[in-house]
Amino acid sequence: MYHSSISRALQHFQGNAASPGHHTCLASVDPRQLRLGIPYMKKQHLSQVPSKAAQTATAPLQAAAPAPQAVVDPPAAVQQAAAVPHFPVPSPIALQQRPRFVVAGSGSVHLIMGAMFAGKTSELLRRVREEQGKGLNVLLLKSCKDTRYTAAHISSHSGERLPCKEASSLLHARQEWAAEYEAADVIGIDESQFFSDLTEFVTTAADVDGKHVIVAGLDGDFQRRKFGQLLDLVPMAEGVTKLHGLCMCGRASAFSLRMAASDNQELVGGAELYRPVCRLCYNKAHTGSRLLQECTAHE
């Protein structure tokens, strides 16, 4: 059976070789395939084999062709540099001009809290400048109850300041400056203890609008009670920073000591009304010691 198949295959290819205009090379035959009864031969048509006349005509051209130059491998440093993928870093201007795609729930909440003179505003401004350096758009908001400095800027005790929007309500500010809010990637809020709609605004901004919100404010009043809604945001915040100042005794301050005889929770003022104190000095001041008189005498 196998021999008859091989014979028919040989007759077939010999017949094709005898036909005019069709030449077949029978040199490449796999003996293993022949034993299996699978005739296999590499055909090479006459059109693919140059004739002697064509070879004679192209010989001068081949002799006149320049010799191929030797390929020199590039230095190892060049090869290594070419192997390392290059990812260009976009400039801040390019980032600002990029289309903004907001995914609901993709925002974040970061809290900066502490007593008076702990550096909360300075830390807020530092983070805002850092985000602006990345090419992100920032909208700064502050309460109109903070009358210590200019209304158009958020200012720290050390003299740093950035332009902001002043508002009595965060939700109203969102409507009043809708274009700025929509374009902002980061929302910065200073003196957050004065906003009664802080929780609602921050929740919507981070969970619905995909904003990154940085909130700075007092966590407690002069009686060490909760002040505003800042502490209500702790369970939903990605980061919470508790800052401390410097007490008059040299210890780290954690509380605000009011120097005026007023029981109102909201009493806006600076160094003329408040002192940063530690626990020991706070307790001394509230147990009838002469700390307040001594502090006033040193002014």
Summarised one tens digit per residue, pLDDT across range 156-186 is 767 787 888 999 999 999 999 999 999 999 9
pLDDT of residue 145: 82
pLDDT at 201: 97
**Residue 264: its pLDDT value, please?**
74
Question: Residues in the chain with pLDDT < 50?
Answer: 2, 13, 17-28, 33-47, 81, 84-101, 289
Would you state the pLDDT for residue 74?
55
Strand pairing class (274-277; 255-258) = antiparallel
> What CA–CA distance (Å, rounded) separates 56 from 40?
33
Instruction: Look at residue 179 and tell me if it is in a domain.
Output: yes
Q: Render pLDDT for 74-111 as a digit per residue (tens, 0 to 9).
A: 555 555 545 544 444 444 434 444 444 455 568 999 99
Active site residues: 191
Q: What pLDDT, on a 0 to 100 scale, did the predictor assign at position 25?
A: 45
- Does the residue 164 lie in any domain? yes
Evaluate whether residue 64 is within a structural domain: no
User: What's this model's pTM, rounded to 2 decimal places?
Assistant: 0.60
CB 125 within 8 A of CB 154: yes
- Based on the domain organization, do 15 and 130 belong to the same domain? no
Closest CA to 215 of 276, 151, 274, 128: 128
Query: Does residue 172 belong to any structural domain of this protein?
Result: yes
Give the count of domains, the chain: 2
- CATH number, domain of 192, equals 3.40.50.300
**How high is the pLDDT of residue 204?**
95
